[in-house]
Amino acid sequence: MPAKTASSVPPWQSYQALYIHVPFCKTRCRYCDFASEAMEAGGPAAQVHMDTYVDDLVLQLRRAAKAGELAQLSTVYIGGGTPSYLGGRRLTELLYTLSLTLDLARIEELTLEANPDSLTPALVRDSFALGVDRYSLGVQSFNDRELAALGRPHDATQARAAIRLIGERPARLSIDLMCGIPEQNMTSWQASLAEATAPELEVSHISVYPLELHPATPLGRAAAAGEVALPDEDMVADMLAYAADYLSRQGFRHYEIASYAKPGQESRHNSAYWTGRPYLGLGRGAWSMRQRGLAAEVGAGTGGRTLLRERWCDGKLQESVVGAEAVAREDAMLGLRMAQGISVAAQPEPIRQVMSQQIARGLVVEEDGRYRLSRRGLFMANEVFASLL
């Protein structure tokens, strides 16, 4: 077998999305299992810690730009944690560095995550002036009792004020809402949805999530000990079904399992994850995905090309997906998250067999040459995904 030369291996595909992770929060919510840390912003140690972290992000951005890794980006997402908790000075430094290291004119979407309690008029004004055109606000609920049960650092009044503050700029706004919260019932859930879709608030994107309990979190331990009353699984399913129907009537398209958007307001950044486009992650705990084609070896029987896909975190290789079928299974799982589904013709035979099984179970439908999750499949998606992987 002839040896491969360096030129026979295609280069890594260009990154198309950039995620910047800011791990700091005012407090750690009772359900949180993310890579975040709570700290008192007024303390001198915290000030130095956050300054050092932002300085390191600036260096990472400059190195990535020098390596040509930012040249083809179309979206940027600054998430956390709570990026707005950095305060105006640090965010300005970070956003200014972005403007120097990439061409903001070609960026289709620059999102900043924020919590209502740390959003100020000056922060919105300055971040918008420096290129942020979309804000993702962690509301979760408009019910103070439910917010307290989650350990959120804001109340409903602050959430309403933050939404109106963002609305003063021509920026897109997404909010998160959560169901399955302790003490929550269908009436309070309906009230939160109604408030989120009030015309005067001009919310254009809503992410709807069921509460996930992790055993190591305070809320997870409290639930295991029977110290909190949670809606049962049937109630949570009813809440998700109600949200799908209600938001549709309000003009929101259910374009992804957990995501609803007004026409043209879908998250372009998140769509990069769901459609298998390479993304770069900067900051502690941020993940990157890169991929490339590999020339098929003579006699390997693969026919054409296969793909190599890698995921990295904190400078270490975490996952490798090798081979056309393995990548196709992963792409099918991600693609099924979206309402458009996946092309039947593009799927290899093993995936078509899996889809036929899921069609028989009523979890997948085949329409117009595409596989899509059925209404029932939306609420049992993890079972479909497991069958693929």
Give dist(CA 328, CA 346) in Å, integer.
9
Greater pLDDT, 37 or 368: 368
* Paired tokens of 321: 């997906």
Section 214-220 average pLDDT: 90
Q: Which domains does the chain have, with CATH numbers?
A: 17-271 (3.20.20.70), 292-388 (no CATH)
DSSP three-state, residue 61? helix
Contacts with 187 (C-beta within 8 Å, 6 or more apart), sequence order: none
Q: Which amino acid is residue 371, in one-letter code?
A: Y
What pLDDT, on a 0 to 100 scale, did the predictor assign at position 44?
84
DSSP three-state, residue 206? strand
pLDDT at 374 over 70: yes
What pLDDT, on a 0 to 100 scale, did the predictor assign at position 301?
36
pLDDT, tens only, 296-347:
433 333 344 568 999 999 999 999 999 888 999 999 999 999 999 999 999 9
Section 84-104 average pLDDT: 95
Percent of the chain with pLDDT over 90: 83
Q: Which of 374, 138, 154, 367 is nearest to 257 (CA)?
A: 374
What pLDDT, on a 0 to 100 scale, did the predictor assign at position 343?
95
Q: Where are the alpha helices (DSSP H) in the chain?
A: 44-66, 88-101, 121-129, 144-150, 156-167, 186-196, 218-224, 233-249, 268-274, 324-335, 349-360, 375-378, 381-388
pLDDT at 219 over 80: yes
Distances (CA, A) of 162 to 117, 324, 328, 383: 8, 46, 42, 38
Average pLDDT along the chain: 92
Give dist(CA 186, CA 231) in Å, integer.
9
* Paired tokens of 33: 């299992």
Contact predicate 193/246, CB 8 Å: yes
What pLDDT, on a 0 to 100 scale, did the predictor assign at position 5?
47
Section 240-251 average pLDDT: 97
Beta bridge partners, 317, equal: 312
What pLDDT, on a 0 to 100 scale, did the predictor assign at position 306?
61
pLDDT at 2 over 60: no
CA atoms within 13 A on the CB side of 175: 25
pLDDT, tens only, 41-83:
667 888 899 999 999 999 999 999 999 999 999 999 999 999 9
Q: Which DSSP state fits 2? A: P
Place of tokens 């600036």: 58
Contact predicate 266/255, CB 8 Å: yes
In terms of C-beta density within 10 A (0-12 exposed, 13-18 middle, 19 or more buried), how is residue 200 classed?
A: exposed
What pLDDT, on a 0 to 100 scale, did the predictor assign at position 307?
85
What pLDDT, on a 0 to 100 scale, did the predictor assign at position 8?
62
- Report how far apart the first and last C-alpha atoms of the chain are (Å, whole number): 32
pLDDT at 146 over 70: yes
User: What is the pTM assigned to this prediction?
Assistant: 0.92
What pLDDT, on a 0 to 100 scale, did the predictor assign at position 305?
57
